[in-house]
Structure formats: C-alpha cells, structure tokens
Structure 1
C-alpha cells in the first residue's frame, strides 16, 4: 500500500503527520510527506526517516512577511493570507499530482488552500482521501462559534451560532475560493461552489486528545477522534542540558516554537525577568521568536532542536504559544502550563488549559515581565501542579497508531 500525506504550515502542522508516517511504515505502508521546504522541517523528517516532497513557499519566511517590524508596515491580514494561499496552491498543483501518482490514499491537513488542493488531486486521481485537523474549531458544529481566520471579524452583537457559521463560510469562499479553484481548473475539474462543504463535508479525523479537546459536533459531520499524534522520540537530551537540569531545582521551560511573536525584540528580557521573579532557573527554546539569554548569569540555558517529550518531564512548568502539539505534550508530561496565544486555535487551547485547572492563559499576545510573572504564579502553585500530574494519566498516547490502523482498514 502507498499513501501520500500532505500539509503546509509550521512545525505543529508537520510533526503529527510525521508521527502518522512512522506508524504507517510499521504496518508495511510506503509513505511520503508533502510539506514546506524549510530546513528545520527537512531535518526533522530525515531524523525519523520520512521522505519529504517539498512544495510551496517557506513557512517561516511566509510568517515573517506577515509580521514585519512595525505595525504600520503590515498589510491587511486577509491580503497576506490570500497572497500566500495563491503561492501555496500554484506550487502544490505542480508537485502533488506527480507525487501522488499511483498512490492508494491521500491524507491531508494544513491551511485551506493546501487542503483544497490535496482534496482536488485525490479526486483527479480517483483515490480516497481524508481530512485531518488537530483541533475541532474548523469543523462545522452547532454547539460553538467558528474559528475566525486572519482578517475576519464578526459584526458586534451577533452571537447566534448558525448565523456566525454562515458568515464564516462566506468569508472562507472569499479568502480561499480563488486559490482552490485555480488548482481545480488546472486539473480539469469543476469549481468548488462552497469551500466549507468541499473541505469538511467528507471524512474527517480529529487528531486531538478527547480529554483536552472533547468533540462537540453533530451527526451531520463525519468525525472520528483518534487522539493526538506523537512521534515516538527516544533522542537523549544533550549532555550539557542534562548537566544543567541536574544542577538544581527543575527550571521553567519557555518556547514559542514557529511563532515569530509580536514585539519579539523585547521578549527575551521580559521572559527572563518573569521567571527570575519566581526564583526559578529557565530553559529557553530559541525558536522563531529568537529567545536568548540577556546576561551572563548561570540560571539560563538556551536550546535549539530538542526532545520535548524527554525535557518536559524534567521542568517545573511549560510556557509556550499554545500550539496543539505542545499543549498535548506538556499535558502528557503532567506539567502545568502558561499559554501565550498568538492567534488561530491558540486562544482555544489557552482556554482549555485554564478550564481544566492545569495552567494559566496569558491575557494577550505580548507578554511583559509583570504579566508573564503573574501567569506563572498560577502555573507554579502546588494545586495546579497536582491537577496537571493527575490529568497526565488520562492523555492518550496511541493516536497515531489508531489513525494508521484506520488508513489500512478504511482506505487500503
């Protein structure tokens, strides 16, 4: 059996697909992953032996263009998304049909332009396909409001959920319809009239943990919740990092992954001062935000690529941007969290962590030393740590294996 996986986005969009690829290979399936051409993504996939077919613009460069140094230099968010969507779609329709030729199934996630292109290629080739999401907010539901895409806002005072979904669907058509239908036209397929039903009207897999993200939908949407997808990671921590961890009390981890972060120039000092306000040492992930030590004191250790599964088990708290994967990994490790959401689904995860009592949601995307220290006070409280440790045993770890079985049984 041959399966092609497709995504476009940052590390959080790629890592779970790598987890599925690893589990599929264990079942004798030939698999390749179409993803952005970023060097960190290529290195990570090579480390787990997953063949990469690169396409589209760099995810990191695209994020940086969307967040230039000054507010006045930033183009409208919707304009940026539409432009990047067109670039993604144009590259994907050159690469994916050839990559998927002769495959038995296609599993896709990522931004709507890439998702629509993958669904169109599957249609052209006549192979089954599945849409994967790592949180439920993009899936139509009568029980909650939809996710707001960049540049989208709802009229004040409108809280009726069906009305909000109608506005959401209209905006998706305006934002992504042109890119998706350009791909369909190039493949000789008729246009998709409605983006939402086109993307989510078939088979959907919700690759999130049922405790952290309990599905709230209806029978009208075909959804199977598998649990979150983790790459088995047995990489040892670097010797110097282990020595730092062994030299004192568990530190606070701070990392914002593939988020450039607003006001990033002031961010390292704010982070360091906030952690020091609690008398804690810290491990900083350099990441796209460029975190770094601000002086020569020995309470700060800066890392690049590192095994989060091993590291999170040795820290006092995890401060991060609120990506689905990082939230689930910290919960699995039983560590309290502080989420500093930047957008998309991240405010949702921040709210869930706060509701479950396993951490704190930072108020706003730009942390100061004072605001971050205040959030850390909640996360470092003994009762928060107790709740986080208790919840860890309820987080599923077999999501990728479950999904791999579904691929073989339902699509093979």
Structure 2
C-alpha cells in the first residue's frame, strides 16, 4: 500500500503543478469575471458610444434610450463627425406616411433596427387612427388583441430556468473534465513507452500496484479540482448574499440548488474515474506518445454519445425507455442519470443503483487492467491496438 501511495503522490503533484490543470481550474472563473466585467463596462460606457442621433420627433421613437434628439440634420452630422454618435436617423411625415432614413458609416445594429421598426409601426398606427378620425368605440375595436395565457404553478418559470441551468452547467463540466483528463492521462501513460524506465520501475514495484497508484494520483487531482469548484461556488454564493444586487438573484440560486442532489458529486467523481482508468489503458497500448490521441478516440466517441444524448433524450420532457436504459450504462450514466435526477424522473434507489453499477465496473476494470498491465505496458512492437492488446494480455 505504501508503494501505491508513493506513486499516487508523485502523479498527483505532477498533475496539479501542470499549466493545463491550472488553466482548466481557473478558466471558468476567468470567464465569469470577464462576462461580469464586460457587462459592467457596457452598462457604464456603452450607451453613449453606441448612440444614434434622431432628427424629427415621434413619441414612440423618443422612448428609445439609444436615440439622442438633435434639432436638425446639420447638428446631427456634426455629432457624427465629433464621434458623439455612430450615425443619425431622419424621420419625416408626408401625406400621413412616416419615413425614416438612417445615415452612417456602417449599418444599424440588428437589435436597434428592430426596435426602431417597432416604434415606427406604433407611430404610424397612431397617425393612421388620427387621420381616419375614428370614434372612440372604433379605436377600441382596432386595439383588440388576442389573449394567450399559461396557467402554471407559482414559480414554475423560475423552476424551469433553474432546472435547465443545472442540467447544462453540469453536463458541460462533465464533458470538459472528461475529455481533458482522459487525454492527459493517456498522454502521460504513453510517454513512458519506448523507454527503459518501466522495466526499472517494475523491478522495484509490481506493475499492478504501479498502475493503481497512477490512477489514484489522477483521481486525487480530480478531487482537488472538484473541491476548488465547490469552494468557489460557496464563496460566490456568500459574496452574492453580501451584495445589494444579490437579493434579486437569490431566489433563482436557491431554486437551482434545490435541483442538485448530494449524490451528484460521487456520481461525477466515479464517472470521471471510469474514464481515467480506460484512458490509462488506452495510453498503455500505444507504442509512441504521439499515438495516444488515436488510442483514446473510442473513448472520445463514448463521451460525445453521452454529451449529445443528454440534449437528445434528456430535454424531451419525458422519461423515455431509452433514457432509462442509457442512464444505467457505465460511461453514459455519468451524463444521463444526473439529467433524470435533476428532472425528477429517477426515484430514490435508481441513482444509487446506477452509481453502484458504475463503481463496480470501474473497480473491476482497474483490477483486470492492473493484473495485465505489465504485459501491456512493456509491449513495444508496433502491431496496432488490437494485436498489441492480445499480445499484452497473453504475456501478463
């Protein structure tokens, strides 16, 4: 056991001290800070730099905050020249018809154009009614609109949004961590091939214990990674509670957290460990380190199936039979069982049963690969993955 821990310690330190680990851990926090910072800057300084001069008045257009009124076209052109506005919009009326013409170096942004068009439609409608000299009852008839309602339980919209946020956030974390750690593990294991270092190592420690130590080191790095995410989430939650604007986001966050079960964390850890074990096995099969990416391609396909299966089968609003079956298959269950849990499809025992099946499969694979690791890792003939596997298993 001491030898396993020594190998795990060396692997763990190598993993957490790498730039790839640091980038993977900090990237989500940088993205959040960047989006918050850009939103703040846009809210503080974006309105003036994106303003448009307005020549000619209508009530609906004057309500648009990005339009700045100017007395005439000459003043608007001067504002464009001084870069106070991006362009100017001239609105005129002739024979009861409104005409709006935009002048600028570039076309008006789609969102602004859509708002201007809606405002012009409203103004033209008001002008038409005024020129038609309709009675009050006739105007009331023209103002009638169809009624569409949804009768949902109180807070249903927020619950649906929180549920979708929980599913998408969790699935993307699983997807990114699975691909990253699988590729890194396969590259690290494959890097030992073609050298004498394994023969020296295996002379002092059994091959299976060495393999278990390597896998354990990567799993500990995973625990550290998830722990940092959990700590960052707690600190972000406490920060929001201390801020005045946090009160508005608090109900949504509480609803989101209500959809997350404690069983998701061990599910995530065991599922990632499953992929690490198979990635280490794939890395041991290749002869050259540069072939490691080819070796993990079947693993990548499995990840992609689980990832896209989440969107295909997990968003239909029904707990279909195929979704239930896939949520028990090791490798896919890490994606689909959490979706069933968040949607409330799975009962109390179903996630536990799927987790135990995934854990048993992971432990069994690790044990079997460990027992054959010596013959697989020391195989240096370039025979292809399948032949290398058969020869390695035969010489264990």
TM-score norm. by structure 2 comes to 0.25
Comparing both chains, which one has the higher relative contact order based on Cα–Cα distances under 8 Å and sequence gaps of 6 or more? 2
More strand by proportion, 1 or 2? 1
TM-score norm. by structure 1 comes to 0.24
Larger CA Rg, structure 1 vs 2: 2
